[in-house]
Homo-oligomer: A and B are copies of this chain.
Amino acid sequence: MSNEFVAKGVKLAKLPSDYGSTGFKMFKGSILNNVEIAYETWGDLSINNDNAILLFTGLSPSSHAASSENNKSTGWWEYMIGPNKPIDTNKYFVICVNSLGSCFGSTSPASINKATGESYGLTFPELSIEDIAKSGHSVLQTLGIDHAHTVMGPSMGGMTALAYALLFPNNLSNLIVISAAARALPFTISIRSLQRELIRSDPLWNNGVYKKDSAPLNGMKLARKLGLMSYRAANEWRERFNRARLPKSEDKKMFDIEFEVENYLNHNSEKFVSMFDPNCYLYLSRAMDLFDVAEHGGTVNAGLAKIHTKKNLIIGVESDILFPVDQQQELANGFSKAKKNFQFEKLNSIQGHDSFLVDTESFSKVIYNFFKD
Contacts and interface: CB of A to CB of B under 8 A. Distances in A.
A201 interface: yes
Contacts of A187: 229, 233-234, 237-238
Contacts of A259: 186, 189, 193, 289
A321 interface: yes
Contact of A191 (B193, B201, B229): B229
Most-contacted residue by chain B among A234, A255, A261 (CB, 10 A) = A255
A148 interface: no
Contact of A201 (B218, B233, B289): B218
A198 B195 CA distance: 11
A363 to B, nearest CB: 23
Contacts of A358: none
A185 interface: yes
A146 B129 CA distance: 65
B243 A185 contact: yes
Task: Kindly name the residue among A222, A241, A254, A282 whose own CB sees the greatest number of chain B CB atoms within 10 A.
Answer: A254
A118 interface: no
A229 B258 CA distance: 24
A191 to B, nearest CB: 7
A318 interface: no
Contacts of A198: 198, 222
A187 B191 CA distance: 15
A203 interface: yes
A286 interface: yes
Contacts of A242: 185-186
Interface string A318-333: 0001001000000000
A222 B197 contact: yes
A147 interface: no
Given A187-B238, A189-B262, A255-B286, A203 B203 contact: yes
A78 interface: no
Nearest to A286: B255
27 contacts: A122-B254, A183-B243, A185-B234, A185-B237, A185-B243, A186-B241, A186-B243, A186-B259, A186-B261, A187-B229, A187-B234, A189-B243, A190-B229, A190-B261, A193-B257, A193-B261, A194-B226, A197-B222, A197-B225, A200-B255, A201-B202, A201-B218, A203-B203, A226-B226, A243-B292, A255-B282, A321-B321
Given A194-B229, A201-B202, 18 more contacts: A185-B237, A185-B243, A186-B234, A186-B238, A186-B242, A186-B243, A188-B234, A190-B229, A190-B262, A191-B229, A193-B257, A193-B259, A193-B261, A193-B262, A194-B222, A196-B255, A203-B203, A321-B321
